[in-house]
């Protein structure tokens, strides 16, 4: 019989530690084995209690979460969920944490007692990453600098083509690996990454620094053009639309889809409707099945679709579901997806 997932909560707020402990203990299959107010206490408890997953605050006394995470990933790598504030500083630090090996990020509410409302979301993320094998940082390649773009000599023929990308757990690094390999004049790209509000702003800014294409957080009415990547803003759905020859996006609230907003299915279904055979879909690492149905709609409309393979996925949930229902034409390692995307678009 499989044991419960053992969770260690690391946060300087006593209220957060108490509420997280109480709420997560109510979730089936999860046991909170301990809490820690700072990294020094956390270090000792990790060695003693051997947790499966850690939730980690960033701004803490004695040692900040980023410094602790860097040491943890080098000497005792574990699945980590970052719990960060919605400040600009908090968002940027959260993305630094993701680049260091953290697997998920959730936003910490301004009122400490309202963290209980996050318990269901947090529990789902804990379940998703609990079986992920995290490698020591010394075994991982650093990718802080953009990769060399793949040369393409026929992109001019893809002027009216668009690429739609969907991802969740582990997706920030996977998306980076794809986008940093694409040339400056590549067809327009629309992206949904499951992420809280405000964090998408920092995500887009970070990618814009690394990529040859221009990467921005999407605003309502933004045009989808060559050389631009539009990232769906957190807590808003992004819908792809067409007016004459112009492609653009609509940003709006609406009900959660697969417990998500933004949702990949919302984007993919709109791409199927308004771009059809002029689109290429990519579904990357993530838990759940968001994007599978929308990708099948894209395929029925004539689009070509690519899925990330199991070996290179942090969580092989979303790609697996899309493959299972016959929505995918090609399955590739994350490092091969950019090149495959270019070659497919050149032939369309």
Which is the catalytic residue, given 194, 237, 309, 312? 194
Catalytic residue flag (residue 194): yes
Q: What is the pLDDT of residue 32?
A: 96
Alpha helices in 86-198 (DSSP H): 88-100, 119-129, 171-179
pLDDT above 90: residue 94: no
For residue 22, which phi and psi values (nearest 5 degrees)? -65, -45
Label residue 149 by pLDDT band (50, 70, 90): low
Spell out the domain ranges in the chain.
5-139, 155-347
Which is the catalytic residue, given 85, 107, 130, 168? 168
pLDDT above 50: residue 200: yes
Which is the catalytic residue, given 11, 38, 290, 309? 290
pLDDT above 80: residue 145: no
Does the domain at 5-139 match CATH 3.30.750.210? Answer given as: no
Label residue 196 by pLDDT band (50, 70, 90): confident
- Distance (Å, whole) CA 16 – CA 127: 20
Nearest-CA neighbor of 242 among 219, 282, 273, 281? 273
pLDDT above 90: residue 267: yes
> Which residue did the predictor score with more confidence, 146 or 324?
324
Beta carbons of 263 and 237 less than 8 angstroms apart: yes
Predicted TM-score of the model (pTM): 0.88
Q: What is the pLDDT of residues 1-27, one digit of tens each?
A: 368 999 999 999 898 899 889 989 999
- Distance (Å, whole) CA 32 – CA 3: 13
Percent with pLDDT over 90 in the chain: 72
Label residue 259 by pLDDT band (50, 70, 90): confident
- Distance (Å, whole) CA 161 – CA 36: 51
Label residue 342 by pLDDT band (50, 70, 90): very high
Asked whether this chain's domains 5-139 and 155-347 adopt the same fold, the reply is yes
Q: What is the mean pLDDT of the chain?
A: 89
Q: What is the pLDDT of residue 257?
A: 95
- Distance (Å, whole) CA 192 – CA 296: 17
CATH class, range 155-347: alpha beta
Question: In sequence order, which residues have a C-beta less than 8 Å from that of residue 156 and are 6 or more positions away?
Answer: none
């Amino acid at each position: 019989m499989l044991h419960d997932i053992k969770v260690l909560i690391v946060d300087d707020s006593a209220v957060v530690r108490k509420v997280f402990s109480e709420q997560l203990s109510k979730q089936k299959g999860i046991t909170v084995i301990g809490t820690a107010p700072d990294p020094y206490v956390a270090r000792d408890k990790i060695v003693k209690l051997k947790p499966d997953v850690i939730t980690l605050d960033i701004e803490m006394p004695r040692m900040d979460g980023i410094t602790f995470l860097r040491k943890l990933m080098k000497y005792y790598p574990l699945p980590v969920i970052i719990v960060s504030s919605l400040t600009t500083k908090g968002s940027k630090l959260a993305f630094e944490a993701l680049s260091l090996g953290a697997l998920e990020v959730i936003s910490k509410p301004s009122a400490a007692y309202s963290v209980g409302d996050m318990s269901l979301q947090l529990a789902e993320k804990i379940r998703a990453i609990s079986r992920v094998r995290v490698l020591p940082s010394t075994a991982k390649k650093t990718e802080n600098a953009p990769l060399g773009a793949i040369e393409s000599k026929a992109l001019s023929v893809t002027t009216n083509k668009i690429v739609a990308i969907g991802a969740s757990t582990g997706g920030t690094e996977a998306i980076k690996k794809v986008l940093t390999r694409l040339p400056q004049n590549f067809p327009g790209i629309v992206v949904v990454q499951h992420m809280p509000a405000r964090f998408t702003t920092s995500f887009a800014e970070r990618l814009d620094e690394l990529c040859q294409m221009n990467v921005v957080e999407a605003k309502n009415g933004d045009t989808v053009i060559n050389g631009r990547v539009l990232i769906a803003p957190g807590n808003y759905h992004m819908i792809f639309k067409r007016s004459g020859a112009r492609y653009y996006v609509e940003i709006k609230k609406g009900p959660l889809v697969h417990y998500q907003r933004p949702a990949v299915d919302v984007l993919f279904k709109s791409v199927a409707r308004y771009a059809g055979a002029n689109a290429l879909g990519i579904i990357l690492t993530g838990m759940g099945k968001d994007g599978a149905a929308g990708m099948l709609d894209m395929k029925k409309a004539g689009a070509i679709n690519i899925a990330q393979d199991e070996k290179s996925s942090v969580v092989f949930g979303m790609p697996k579901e899309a493959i299972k229902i016959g929505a995918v034409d090609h399955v590739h390692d994350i490092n091969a997806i950019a090149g495959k995307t270019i070659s497919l678009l050149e032939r369309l």
